[in-house]
Structure 1
Amino acid sequence: MRIHFIAIGGAAMHNLALALHYKGYQISGSDDAIFEPSYSRLKAQGLLPENFGWFPEKITESLDAIVLGMHAKVDNPELKRAQELGVKIYSYPEFLFEQSKNKTRVVIGGSHGKTTITSMILHVLNYHGIEVDYMVGAQLDGFDTMVHLTDYNDFIVLEGDEYLSSAIDMRPKFHLYRPNIALLSGIAWDHINVFPTYENYVEQFSIFTDSIINGGIMVYNEEDLEVVSVVEASENPIRKLPYKTAEYYIENGQTLLITPEGDMPVEIFGKHNLSNLSGAKWICQNMGIDENDFYEAIASFKGASKRLEKIGETESNVAYKDFAHSPSKVKATTQAVKSQYPNRKLIACLELHTYSSLNAEFLNEYEGTLEDADEAVVFYSPEAVTIKKLKDITQEQIAAAFQRNNLKVFTDSNGFKEYLFSRKYQNTALLLMSSGNYGGLNFDDVKTLL
């Protein structure tokens, strides 16, 4: 098949392009800018566009299909040409469904934890030599790409994102997968630019639950009241299997999982991650992995990229980076590090970087999220607020929203870096939470602080 990608440089899009290339498809693509690691990975496989920009002449009737990325707008010249010619146009999730129609689809949904749970499942399957197709939102140890597609694997494991599919398909991605087996980890309002009310956001998870095929399975977090409400209200004829946080304890900075075979040390930590582990176990068991085999494999799981990822450690100090940006993730991650290192000073730094987090009307959702930190810092760029065409926010608004009198707020990247690099660290846990990089912080340099 000949497939053309409009906006091939995106994190998800370039991984799908690579997966189809490895499958033997003829792949072409366009984008107006491509950054690392997409640039090098596409170039290595001969898929990097010769020139950046949009070229309608690339779109011909000889193409079997177009895959349209979220980065492409409705007036994209290549998209308009494809519509004129009547070439079949798929969104990213539509194409994944098309590739998996004859497989057992396992879809992991939720406002938080879905990347980690999907990664846990894939780690366990890989450990036991079980091959599946997959799509996950982070690079994993032992996996070359974030997307893998074949004609022969029975299962496909998909991270189910609730964000929109494309500029011409405003449905959330996870509505399109029609799972045989699904998981719902939690519901906490996010993506305010798409779902302006909490009720509208929750409704998307009801639709997801009702999209499970008849006789399918929903594994759900019974400790999240909104999840329970959504799942129990569904009249879809499916099996509903609740899970709760695994039993564990912390001893000398080491988390130990309580299992039928005895107490087992694990690499991950934090109540939210032990909850994720329980959900992953249920999914794996429904995919044919017994409990003992799950525990054997999960002991070596070190986490998904940028999810409580240790970036440096000495005898008295440790530093982590985490993708956390939504209020629920910030609170859970901060609590996790404080619980793991209760006798160390926790310095928690958060960058407000996304549309929701920089929205003045959403800021109050962050109240109390940094209360477990001994020292709390928030960084944001006024320029990012302008780029996103949002109302200006002030340092005073942020301090009021977080309800913390001693909150340090930085709007200048150099000022934030000076704060980090000018202090002495002793018996400290440093936590850097962001989906960005604090205006140019090199995380490798953080190691020198410890």
Structure 2
Amino acid sequence: MEKKKQKIHFIAIGGSVMHNLAIALKQAGHQISGSDDEIFEPSKSALSKHGILPEKDGWFPEKIDKDTEVVMLGMHASKDNPELLKAQQLGLKIYSFPEYIYEQSKDKQRIVIAGSHGKTTTTAIIIHVLNYCKRDFDYVIGARVRGVENTVKLSDAPIIIIEGDEYLSSALDPTPKFLRYQHHIGLITGISWDHANVFPTEDEYVKQFDLFADQTPKGGILIYCEQDSLALMIGKKERPDVTQVTYKSHSHTSDTDGHFFLTDGKERHPIKIFGSHNYQNISGAKEVLKKIGITNKQFFEAISSFEGASGRLELIKESSGFAMYKDFAHAPSKVKATVKAMREIHPSRELVACVELHTFSSLNKKFLPQYKDSLKSAQTPIVYFNPEKVKAKKLEPLSTDDIKSAFANKNIQVFDNTEQLTGYLTAQSWKNKNLLMMSSGNFGGIDLKNLAEKINA
């Protein structure tokens, strides 16, 4: 972190990671201002708490002047953003989020966790264990972790743990974010085509991970999941003087009361997360931690208190014979893994699994077939989408038949109205059933805690 305090302006300050960086820099003593055309929770409350919530929505070029030393450009700000144009006119230094993080961590050991799925949980496990072991480190993560106040920390610590997103850095920089960090240790959890708006073919998408792996420096370490075919294909490619480390699902067991354990020889270590994908995430995190001095004994002691990243298989309500969870899952591979995990925790209960099609990719008729069989493990599969979102993204309209065909499941129930969806869910009998709600959005404004209260279980 620079010792000199700066005047920094954020264009699109309401982003999930952007607002946390703004808060971190405000706490470090910098003068922070920002703008956005729309700010949602929890960003809104967090910015307000720290006194940096913009007074009004919109773009205000007058907020930027010759005294502004740094302009931070958020992902969803376009090239013709009036504040960006003003900053360019004044010749100010403009950073994308990943460019700034790299600048602040040039002298640190940089550990970057990449992957289409699992990167948030893997990063969260590493952060949790390092905190438990009282190690000094910085981090960037896309979700909240219990015991961690902010999702960004920048200090004089010798290492930084970064959740590396493959999406583009900014309107001015079409480079995937994870390539900007220039890792020393890189991990690839798994690869499954996503972000069809910027990577129109699967080959183009997969190529970004190949570039990430190739970027591993001589003397660096590349860790990858051998159970993911694409990660394996990329990871095993020969790279001179790069240490290659593979991992797979950690050995585990469970008891009849629904408790889960990691196994290590004859030892059993209790854990609070579950699902095949999480056993992979645990192993990946363990390999990273091993490379920076965490012993097996320390790891197993620390992991038992890890409760998961916010929004990842998060329990909303539980009663006798019923549980309701929410999950950030939205891409096909994430949906499939989450549904499978829910079936594992309560195999004797019927599962009602509802996914919202919310992103550009998921609402794109050409990409939609990627969801084939993703809800197959649920007895009652449900898809929700908002036709207005399809229009706003200037995509071809979707029909119920389009969705049923793409998911390859004639039993899927499709809703495009939130009242009808909530009406259907609250009218069901929930004896010996679980409900799983999956989205990177908010199901058209449905309050899931309120919905949980209305469910008679």
Normalised by the shorter chain, which TM-score bucket? over 0.9
- Letter matched to residue 62 of structure 2: E
- Letter matched to residue 190 of structure 1: D
SS in 2 for 1:249: strand
Structure 2 equivalent of residue 263 of structure 1: 268
User: Which of 20-29 and 311-320 deviates more?
Assistant: 20-29
Distance 2:307 2:341 in 1: 15
Distance 2:324 2:124 in 1: 22
Structure 1 equivalent of residue 161 of structure 2: 157
Deviation at 1:362, TM superposition (A): 0.9
Deviation at 1:37, TM superposition (A): 2.0
Structure 2 equivalent of residue 200 of structure 1: 204
- Letter matched to residue 169 of structure 2: S
Deviation at 1:127, TM superposition (A): 1.3
Deviation at 1:50, TM superposition (A): 3.2
Per-residue deviation, residues 158-217 of structure 1 (Å, max 9, x unmatched): 000000100111111001000011110000000001100110000000111122222111
The one of 36, 39, 45 equivalent to 1:40 is 45
Structure 1 equivalent of residue 237 of structure 2: 233
Q: How does 1:3-402 map to 2 (within 5 A)?
A: 3-150=8-155, 152-235=156-239, 237-252=241-256, 253-260=258-265, 262-402=267-407
Q: Taking structure 1 as reference, are residues 135 and 368 closer, same or farther at Cα in structure 2, changes over 3 Å only?
A: same
Distance 1:242 1:362 in 2: 30
Q: Which consecutive segments of 4 or more residues in structure 1 shift more than 4 A?
A: none
Distance 1:440 1:57 in 2: 33
SS in 1 for 2:443: coil
SS in 2 for 1:349: strand
Deviation at 1:100, TM superposition (A): 0.3
Deviation at 1:315, TM superposition (A): 1.8
Distance 2:41 2:178 in 1: 27
TM-score (norm 2): 0.96
Distance 1:272 1:426 in 2: 28
- Letter matched to residue 238 of structure 1: V
Distance 2:188 2:102 in 1: 19
Structure 1 equivalent of residue 448 of structure 2: 443
Contact residue 267 and residue 301 of structure 1 kept, 8 A = yes
Deviation at 1:55, TM superposition (A): 2.2
Contact residue 267 and residue 300 of structure 1 kept, 8 A = yes
Contact residue 223 and residue 235 of structure 2 kept, 8 A = no
SS in 2 for 1:18: helix
Deviation at 1:445, TM superposition (A): 2.0
Q: Taking structure 1 as reference, are residues 357 and 236 closer, same or farther at Cα in structure 2, changes over 3 Å only?
A: farther
- Letter matched to residue 267 of structure 2: G
Distance 2:406 2:237 in 1: 33
Per-residue deviation, residues 114-159 of structure 1 (Å, max 9, x unmatched): 0000001101111122231111000111111111111x20111100
Contact residue 109 and residue 160 of structure 1 kept, 8 A = yes
Identity value in percent = 48
- Letter matched to residue 395 of structure 2: L
Deviation at 1:40, TM superposition (A): 2.2
Deviation at 1:28, TM superposition (A): 1.7
TM-score (norm 1): 0.97
Deviation at 1:399, TM superposition (A): 0.7
Per-residue deviation, residues 260-310 of structure 1 (Å, max 9, x unmatched): 461122100000001000000011111211111001111111111111111
Distance 2:101 2:154 in 1: 9
Contact residue 108 and residue 184 of structure 1 kept, 8 A = yes
Contact residue 312 and residue 446 of structure 1 kept, 8 A = no
Deviation at 1:409, TM superposition (A): 1.0
Distance 2:250 2:109 in 1: 27
Distance 1:10 1:271 in 2: 31
Distance 1:53 1:379 in 2: 30
SS in 2 for 1:11: coil
- Letter matched to residue 262 of structure 1: E
Per-residue deviation, residues 219-248 of structure 1 (Å, max 9, x unmatched): 110111111111222535311110110011
Per-residue deviation, residues 377-431 of structure 1 (Å, max 9, x unmatched): 1111111111111000110011111111211111111111011101111111111
Q: How many residues align?
A: 449
Q: Tell whether 2:412 aligns with 1:407.
A: yes
Contact residue 210 and residue 234 of structure 1 kept, 8 A = no
Distance 1:29 1:21 in 2: 12
Structure 1 equivalent of residue 3 of structure 2: none
